[in-house]
Amino acid sequence: MPTPDTLPHGGDAPVPRTVVRGAHLIDAHGDHGLHDLWLRDGRIEGLDLDGAAELEVDASGLLVTPAFIDPHVHLRVPGQEEKEDLASGLGAAVAGGYATVISMANTDPVVDDPAIVRALREGAARLGLARLRPAAALSVGLRGERLADYAALRAAGAVMITDDGIPVADSHLQRRACEYARELGLVIQTHSEDPTLRSDGVMHEGRVSQALGLPGNPAEAESIMVFRDCEIARMTGARVHIAHVSSERGLRVVEWFKEQGTNVTCEVTPHHLTLTDAAWERFDPVFKVAPPLREASDVEALRDGARRAVVDCIGTDHAPHTRAEKDRDALAAPFGLPNIEVAFPLLYTELVLSGELELATLLGLLQGGPARVMGWPEPTLEPGASADVVLLDLERERPVEPATFTSKARFSPWEGRLLRGWPQATLVAGRMAFRRASGAPG
Amino acid sequence: MIPGSTPLAETAAKTSRRRHLLDFEGWSRDDVLALLDTTDVMAQVMQRTIKKVPALQGFTIGTLFFEDSTRTRLSFERAARAQSADVISFAAGGSSLSKGESLKDTLRTIDALQADLYVVRHQAAGAPHQIARWTDALVVNAGDGRRAHPTQALLDAYTFRARFEGFDGFAGKRLAIVGDVMHSRVARSNVALWTLLGAEVVLCGPRTLLPAELGQARGVTLTHRVDEALEGAHAVMALRLQHERMTRGLLPSLAEYRQRYQVTRKRMRAAHAGALVMHPGPINRDIELEGALADAPYSVIEAQVANGVPVRMAILYTLLVGSR
Amino acid sequence: MHMTHKAQLMDAQELGRALTRIAHEIIERAKGVDGLALVGIHTRGVPIAERLADLIEHFEGARPLSGKLDITLYRDDLTEIALQPVVRKTEVPFDVRRMTIVLCDDVLYTGRTARAALDALVDMGRPAVIQLAVLIDRGHRELPIRADYVGKNVPTSRAEVVKVKLSETDGEDAVLLLEQAAG
């Protein structure tokens, strides 16, 4: 059995030596201008080399940069393949410019068994789309009672421990999980919402929820739990990552702990950066997410946090469901929306083109940010780095068309929105994993 | 039109418009007043020996009650049949919806029955809006979650107009709503309707049941003191207190609620002369309302129930005629 | 729909004479005002019924009962029309059973209004006799209905419109023949 680090991505066939011509190269070290980027054996070979390429990719007019890392996706495997499967979810990831994703453990059965972790990694490696690094459950069956076997799960390839989807109500269990994970070097990710305070809320509690008569979930349900989780991180010294911070108060708590030197990181999602609770006006459960879409002041605070590096990275929380599930009423419909295919164009258009965020900052939140959270090497275009590269078209405007999604969840809160910055191709470990059809509308 | 008959040609009031009654969004004061005038005519029909007119012959009305409410459903069905409409009843309790079928798929099945108008009751706020997006039929909201119950608000306003001694318009009138405002679609719809009609609304209840955000609307004030709420009120509406509120920590005890918020004869003395006592029903006697008060001459609770049918007749008539 | 004026069918004097004649005929048929009621159909039937009641009172020294009937809820075209008619109150403040009821309207045309009025009236009780009085009968009946009292018979084409003006509703008394302008 291959060990976690030696599974060949995309099978055993030789990786073609590839040249990406006329590329405008940008990475964490800066803007390198126009070059030919050479890839060999799954690694970056160098710039402007000579010799024969087995594959030529024309990148004229495109920005070429390390492909993205998503610390937070739901692939629904095993057990909920009607929502998403490995091919559709990892296909959606590369279509969104991601080379590596971390999948959540709230599946059926739950990812609390090393065999499931192994099956996920092997299945993903065979596909050769985005690279999959599974997270495993914090508690057996996500029941919040007993710790899962972290050492065995790590040995099978799990890189993160989380009960995401279900907040850990028991503070004692959270403490023990952090203590145990620390010595194994695993990242603990938390879905920080106080389950008793969020109660039966389906949207943010505020003026809009009171007017619409929908049960609310106050921002304090988040900030209280963020505080607890940061406090336990400080207490235990564990590497704790706060998932999908959605509120100004929640983010302030994280910032306060960072100022104290606590080793805590956090992510924000594309939807919390771009949508507010006002979206509920038409009672469309597409906008039902956990934590909920907040108010304009929260969106502003999250954007400000992204600018000031209080936010460490973007995590999409891509959470596919079937259309039929989202066509239920506001109380019965499930939480979550698909977004990994539109994440970069959305954030580029709404934040960078609007002048609110530097392109380099956004790229950092998608590349070096998540890598640092996970303790992985920073993705760059330097020779020897993994040949995970995305080609972005920053010019051409194209509407969000859910019908063309690779994800099985073919609906979107941004349907019809005109965006720029669409990934044209994504290479993972030197192989072409995604290439936008040339006849694509736009 | 009846060909060439001049008098009728001149009575045509407004052009055809596909219109739902989901809430009062998009309804003007004049629209509502016209509806109340039509209700007068319908009330007249219901006082005759033959309580039936052929007006809606050929129209089919479907009642879709995803949340059970026999009283409201019967009221709508009576209103439909009194105008000779056909009625299809759909009770969702035992249907496949409980097995996880989506609202949209359920509707698709029902839509095959080709109703012209659906009366929708649902436990989730916004479900009637969703249904209105998915069907060509018209939709009347018969109560969605905590959100809206527009026909109840209309019958409350109609009852007040018909019964308040010397009624001279809604402007300057004051409606006090006391009780569990947070969970009440009746309260939300009455706030929307009475403020639309130019009246003031005072909402009253303990902080746990009275969201501050509701006080941000124009013409609405909040208070936690019942005496203050009733001061000068022309109509006082007590809301039904659900017993489960106690278990969820929203109230300490019934005894304490009674003592602090019960609408009583004594407290009614602070109200405007001739003030009416209203209740959307069903009443918890001696909890939100002093038992004897429900039978007082200025209590119009029975009239509210009786007015349910003519108000709903007027709504069905107004929405359906001219919609094709 | 644009209308052009074609002819005046009655002036105020002629209109008054026609109503006077109808009032006499009603008295003659009913043999007095006992058990007699005049019910006007909204809109212009209402002042016509009141004027006939005034005239009968003038001739007989006793006034017959009178009322107003709105037939909107009895129209046979409510599922098809694009315009919503305003529903008005019916005011028949007496028991119609065993009465002689004279329905009053301005123009008798297809007969559909009269048909609706008959149904509306019968739903209030069972009158002994129902008669129909109209100021103008312009023909083109679509139902087996005829008037008992007619102010004037006017042969018309379907493109024409008979417009009755009454001082109570229109500021003057006159009957005009209009025609729909082409195009």
Active-site residue set of A: 317
In a domain, C78, yes or no: no
The per-residue pLDDT for range B208-225, each reduced to its tens digit, is 999 999 998 899 999 999
Q: Chain C contact for B10, CB < 8 A?
A: yes
Digit-coded pLDDT (tens) for C32-75 = 899 999 999 999 999 999 999 999 999 999 999 999 999 999 99
For residue C129, give the nearest of C94, C91, C97, C106 by alpha carbon.
Answer: C97
User: Any CB–CB contact under 8 A between B30 and chain C?
Assistant: no
State how far residue B104 is from chain A, nearest Cα, in angstroms.
6
Residue C66 lies in a domain: yes
| A107 conformational bin, left if phi > 0, alpha if psi -120 to 50, beta if neither | beta
Residues of A within 8 A of B129 (CB-CB) are 282-283
Mean of the pLDDT values across residues A166-192? Answer: 97
Instruction: Calculate how close chain B gets to C151, using CA atoms only, in Å.
Output: 17
For residue B99, the one-letter residue type is K
Residues B261 and B187 in one domain: yes
DSSP string covering B12-64: EEE------BSSSTT--HHHHHHHHHHHHHHHHHHTSSS---STTTT-EEEEE
For B54-112, what is each residue's pLDDT tens digit?
999 999 999 999 998 999 999 999 999 999 999 999 877 655 555 667 889 889 888 98
Question: What is the rounded distance in angstroms from the CA atom of residue A335 to the CA atom of residue A201?
Answer: 11
Indicate the pLDDT class of residue C17, thresholds 50, 70 and 90.
very high
Q: Report whether pLDDT(A326) > 90.
A: yes
**In this prediction, what percent of chain B has a pLDDT beyond 70?**
92
CB pair distance less than 8 Å for A212 and B126: yes
| DSSP character at residue B118 | E
Contact B103 A324 (CB under 8 A): no
Whether residues B154 and B300 share a domain: the answer is yes
- Tell me which residue in B7, B40, B318 faces C42 most closely, judged by beta carbons: B7
What is the band of A13 on the pLDDT scale with cuts at 50, 70, 90?
Answer: confident
Over pLDDT 90: what percentage of chain C? 89
> Is B315's Cβ below 8 Å from some Cβ in C?
no
Residue in chain B closest to A212 (alpha carbons) equals B147
- The per-residue pLDDT for range A261-280, each reduced to its tens digit, is 999 999 999 999 999 999 99
pLDDT for residue B324 = 76
* Architecture of the structural domain at A14-64+385-435: Roll (2.30)
- Percentage helix, strand, coil for chain C under 3-state DSSP, each rounded to 5: 30, 30, 40
Q: Is any Cβ of chain B less than 8 angstroms from the Cβ of C124?
A: yes
- The number of folded domains in chain C is 1
Q: What is the pLDDT of residue A441?
A: 41
Across the interface, of C82, C112, C123, the residue whose CB is closest to B2 is C112
Number of domains present in the structure of chain B: 2
Closest chain C residue to B34, measured at CA? C86
Q: How far out from the chain centre does Cα A410 lie? A: 18
- Whether C159 is covered by a domain: the verdict is yes
**Is the CB of residue C137 less than 8 Å away from at least one CB of chain B?**
no
Answer yes or no: is pLDDT of C183 > 70: no
Rounded (10°) CA dihedral A225, A227, A230, A236: -90
What pLDDT, on the 0 to 100 scale, is given for residue B2? 35
Q: Where in chain A is the domain with CATH 2.30.40.10?
A: 14-64+385-435
pLDDT surpassing 60 at residue B10: no
Rounded distance between C-alpha atoms, residue B63 and residue B74, angstroms: 10
Given phi > 0 = left and psi -120 to 50 = alpha, else beta, which region is A327? alpha
Please judge whether C107 and B13 are an interchain contact, meaning their C-beta atoms are less than 8 angstroms apart.
Answer: no
Residues of C in contact with B38 (CB under 8 A): 87
Work out the minimum CA distance from A223 to partner chain B, whole angstroms: 21
> What are the chain B neighbours of C85 within 8 Å (beta carbons)?
8, 11-13, 321
User: Do the Cβ atoms of A213 and B188 come within 8 Å?
Assistant: yes
Which pLDDT tens digit goes with each residue over B274-294?
999 999 988 999 999 999 998
Among A196-210, A230-244, B124-138, B285-299, which stretch is predicted with the lowest mean pLDDT? B285-299
User: Where residue C163 sits, what CATH number does that domain have?
Assistant: 3.40.50.2020
Is residue B236 situated within a structural domain?
A: yes
- B125/A212 CB distance under 8 A: yes
Q: Are A389 and A65 in contact (CB under 8 A)?
A: yes
* Interface contact A283-B129, CB threshold 8 A: yes
> Quick one: closest CA in A to B191, which residue?
A211
Q: Which residues pair with B215 in a beta bridge?
A: none
- Print burial letters for A126-158: b (CB count within 10 Å at least 16), e (below 16): ebbbbbbbbbbbbbeebebeebbbbeebbebbb
Cβ–Cβ below 8 Å for B38 and C87: yes
Q: What is the band of B29 on the pLDDT scale with cuts at 50, 70, 90?
A: very high
Chain A contacts in chain B segment 202-231 (CB below 8 A): 211, 213-214, 216
What is the residue-averaged pLDDT of chain A?
Answer: 96
Our CA-based measurement puts residue B270 at a distance from the nearest CA of chain C, in whole angstroms, of 37
Judged by a CB distance cut-off of 8 A, whether residue B114 touches chain C is no
The range of the structural domain enclosing residue B206 comes to 150-304
What ipTM goes with this model?
Answer: 0.89
For residue range A187-216, list pLDDT tens digits in order.
999 999 999 999 999 999 999 999 999 999
**Among candidates B206, B143, B146, which has minimal Cα distance to B178?**
B206
Output B17 or A359, whichever has higher pLDDT.
A359
**CA B32 to CA B192: how far, in whole Å?**
12
Q: Which residues, other chains included, contact A50 with Cβ-Cβ below 8 Å and sequence gap of 6+?
A: none
* C residues 2..61 contacting B (CB < 8 A): 41-45
Average pLDDT value for residue range C145-153? 97
Among B5, B16, B38, B116, which would you mutate to test the C interface (most chain C Cβ atoms within 10 Å of its Cβ)? B5
Q: Would you give the end-to-end CA distance of chain A in angstroms?
A: 46
User: To the nearest whole angstrom, how far is the Cα of B106 from the nearest Cα of chain C?
Assistant: 27
Residues B258 and B204 in one domain: yes
Supply the pLDDT for residue B3.
Answer: 36
Closest by Cα among C170, C172, C113 to C145: C113
Torsion of CA A74, A79, A83, A84, to 10 degrees: 60
B147: three-class secondary structure by DSSP: coil
Check whether A17 has a pLDDT greater than 50: yes
C109/B7 touch (CB, cutoff 8 Å), yes or no = no
CATH (domain of B36): 3.40.50.1370
C161 touches chain B (CB under 8 A): yes
- Considering CB atoms only, which of A282, A325, A329 is closest to B127? A329
List Cβ neighbours of B4 (8 Å cut-off, separation of 6 or more): C109, C110, C138, C140, C158, C161
How close does chain C come to B310, measured CA to CA in Å?
Answer: 13
H/E element, A151: helix A150-156
The identity of residue B13, as a single letter, is A
Window from A232-246, A415-429, B4-18, B89-103 with minimum mean pLDDT: B4-18
> Has residue B160 been placed in a domain?
yes
Q: Which of A284, A327, A330 sits opposite B125 (nearest CB)?
A: A330
Is B124–A213 a contact, with Cβ atoms under 8 angstroms apart?
A: no
Going through A191-343 in order, the beta strands assigned E by DSSP cover 203-204, 216-217, 240-242, 264-268, 313-314
> Does the pLDDT value for residue A163 go beyond 90?
yes
Please give the residue range of the domain that contains residue C103: 3-71+88-180
Residue A1, pLDDT above cutoff 80: no
In a domain, B258, yes or no: yes
Domain with CATH 3.20.20.140 in chain A: 67-374
How far apart, in whole angstroms, are the C-alpha atoms of residue C72 and residue A415?
A: 46
Residue B87 belongs to some domain of the structure: yes
Residues A97-109 have pLDDT tens digits of 999 999 999 999 9
Position B32 in a domain: yes
- Asked, for residue C137, whether it belongs to a domain, the answer is yes
Looking at CATH, the fold of the domain delimited by A67-374 is given as TIM Barrel (3.20.20)
Q: In chain C, what residues touch B15 (CB-CB under 8 Å)?
A: 82-83
| CA nearest to B241, candidates B308, B193, B185, B180 | B180
User: Is residue C154 in a domain?
Assistant: yes
pLDDT for res A438: 67
DSSP 3-state of B232: coil
Predicted local distance difference test score (pLDDT) of residue B95: 54
> With 60 as the cut, is the pLDDT of residue A295 above it?
yes
CB contact under 8 A, B13 and C125: no
C111 belongs to a structural domain = yes
Q: Based on the domain organization, do B70 and B172 belong to the same domain? A: no
Tell me, yes or no, whether chains C and A touch by having 3 or more C-beta pairs under 8 A.
no
Residue B12 clears pLDDT 70, i.e. is over it: no
Helix then strand then coil, % of chain A, to nearest 5: 35, 20, 45
